[in-house]
């Protein structure tokens, strides 16, 4: 009778460990999938930057250092792979793009350019989508990290090499806000 009871107890423990392990794997996969959503939005922003630079270049040719800063920040952001490195470089890119947008305030013809206004609207949309993707990613990270830090998942996580995932945080307070884009009523200048 004792071997049967021990067999049942061991079997239940194994089933419990298997369930915990599978839950951790599902949560880790959800974290990875949600980060791919952040990556998609970052790529959209990276793809928009050259168009912004080219449009601004046509109106503000003597602002070469600002344009070069934006291009360099984009290149650095694209090269980042680890999340903490990506955070820092994306923050720098966001700051460079904001400087580029502020530069437009000095050039009324640029502000009135239909192409530039469209790019500004695209940037606002991308920044909003990026914020939602970050929020979803951080929520999945929270769920995963919480799940693996509770008992008995804590044991299973340590046995199978599960590690806490980092949150995607934005350090720069200016990056936390959507870039201020003053579109104004430039409909009279649509021909520009």
80 in any annotated domain: yes
Is residue 3 domain-resident? no
pTM to 2 decimal places: 0.79
Report whether 57 contacts 102 (CB < 8 A). no
Structural domain count of the chain: 1
pLDDT digit string, tens, across residues 139-151: 999 999 999 999 8
Is 53 within 8 Å of 70 (Cβ atoms)?
Answer: yes
In a domain, 20, yes or no: yes
pLDDT tens-digit map of 64-77:
888 899 999 999 99
Q: Which two tokens stand for residue 4?
A: 């049967």
The pLDDT-based confidence of 58 (bands split at 50, 70, 90) is confident
The verdict on residue 133 lying in a domain is: yes
CATH of the domain at 112: 1.20.1440.20
4 lies in some domain: no
Mean of all residue pLDDT scores within the chain: 87
Q: Which one has a higher pLDDT value, 108 or 36?
A: 36
Range of the domain at 95: 10-189
Residue that is written with structure tokens 């980092």 in the block = 166
Q: What angle do CA 180, 184, 74 make, to 5 degrees?
A: 40
């Amino acid at each position: 009778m004792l071997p049967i009871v021990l067999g049942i107890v061991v079997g239940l423990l194994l089933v419990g460990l298997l369930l915990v392990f599978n839950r951790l794997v599902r949560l880790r996969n959800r974290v990875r999938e949600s980060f791919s959503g952040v990556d998609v939005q970052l790529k959209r922003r990276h793809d928009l930057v050259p168009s912004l630079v080219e449009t601004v270049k046509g109106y503000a040719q003597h602002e070469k250092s600002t344009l070069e800063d934006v291009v360099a920040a984009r290149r650095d952001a694209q090269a980042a792979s680890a999340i903490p490195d990506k955070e820092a470089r994306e923050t720098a890119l966001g700051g460079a793009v904001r400087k580029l947008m502020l530069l437009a305030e000095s050039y009324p013809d640029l502000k009135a350019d239909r192409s530039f206004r469209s790019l500004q609207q695209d940037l606002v949309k991308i920044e909003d989508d990026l914020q939602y993707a970050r929020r979803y990613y951080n929520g999945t990270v929270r769920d995963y990290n919480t799940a693996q830090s509770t008992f008995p998942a804590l044991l299973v996580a340590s046995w199978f090499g599960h590690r806490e995932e980092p949150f995607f945080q934005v350090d720069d307070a200016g990056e936390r806000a959507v870039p201020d884009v003053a579109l104004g009523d430039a409909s009279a200048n649509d021909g520009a």
